[in-house]
Copies of this chain bind each other. A is one copy, B any other.
Amino acid sequence: MSPARTPTGAAPSRGRRAGRSAGDDREVAILATAERLLRERAFGDISIDDLARGAGISRPTFYFYFPSKDAVLLTLLDRVTEEADAAAGDVLDRLAEDPRARWRELIARFHATFGGHRDVVLACAQVRGTNAEVRRLWAEVLERWVRAVQAAIELERARGAAPDGLPARDLAIALNSMNERVWYATFAGDGPAVAERDVVDVLLDVWLTAIYRTTAPPVTPRG
């Protein structure tokens, strides 16, 4: 699938290879051009020539740096997913302190992380239908969020804060799916959407009622 590009650095790169050299500037320039163009038009309306020209190189030279247009987007997506993974952080480990505030923080971070890269994320959503690699990468990110939420729900049930009910994994999938779709509609302005200002609170409300059957889950006092 990906060409033999001999990455010598530790981090797997979707571009050429790691290790400093003149070409790095070009690689960065291509990425920057992609981000800039994504701000003004859809991914499908950007040709490889546009990317190459924007980076000051010819089209064949583009292929020296990336195997395809999609690979550029994937590189951009890699950054976002890293950030997204970090965003969850340890929020859910401190749930007992103040569940409502912690859950809210989680949802707000999801919202902020993707909102900070909306052009890239929206573009990925567009090509997800046609690009298996984007689909896979996205599925992995979602899977990590689902697992974290699932674990948190199970912990809340174990400490008696949340009642039993749906399998925690199914509930985690449903809630994360809701967030993803609502988020998308809000930012893409595509169909019925919740106002950007309200979206975190709306989602939070559904999360809390689904998990606790109330919007004011019990706090376990520090002991």
* Interface residues of A, Cβ cutoff 8 Å to B: 42, 44, 125-130, 135, 138-139, 142-143, 146, 165-166, 170-171, 173-178, 180-182, 185, 190-194, 198, 202-203, 205-206, 209-210, 213-215
A7 CB → nearest B CB, Å: 26
State whether A193 and B209 are in contact (beta carbons under 8 Å apart), knowing that A130-B126, A178-B178 are contacts in the complex.
Answer: no
A215 to B164 Cα, complex, angstroms: 12
> Do residues A170 and B194 form an inter-chain contact, with CB atoms below 8 A?
yes
Give the CA-CA distance A172 to B194 in the complex, in Å.
10
Enumerate 20 A-B pairs (CB-CB under 8 Å) in ascending A order.
A44-B130, A125-B129, A126-B129, A127-B129, A135-B190, A135-B191, A146-B192, A166-B202, A166-B205, A173-B185, A173-B192, A173-B193, A173-B194, A176-B192, A177-B178, A177-B185, A178-B206, A181-B181, A205-B210, A210-B210
| Bound CA–CA A191/B128 (angstroms) | 12
| Residues from chain B with Cβ under 8 Å of A126 in the complex | 129-130
Set B128, B135, B175: member contacting A206, Cβ < 8 A: B175
**Which residues on the B side are within 8 Å of A178 (C-beta)?**
174-175, 177-178, 181-182, 206
> How far does the alpha carbon of A88 sit from the alpha carbon of B44 in the complex, in Å?
35
- Knowing A129-B129, A181-B178, the reply to whether A202 touches B171 (Cβ < 8 A) is yes
Q: How far is the CA of A143 from the CA of B190 in the complex (A)?
A: 11
Give bound CA distance, A135 to B192, whole Å. 11
| A189 CB → nearest B CB, Å | 10
- In the complex, are the beta carbons of A139 and B173 less than 8 A apart? no
Chain B residue, CB-CB nearest to A211: B209
Q: Which of B129, B165, B180 contacts A205 (CB 8 A)?
A: B165
| Structural contact, A191 and B142, CB atoms closer than 8 A | yes
Given A143-B192, A190-B139, A173 contacting B177 (CB threshold 8 A): no
The residue in A146, A170, A190, A202 that gathers the most chain B C-beta atoms within 10 A of its C-beta is A170
Inter-chain contacts of A209 with B (CB < 8 A): 209-210, 213
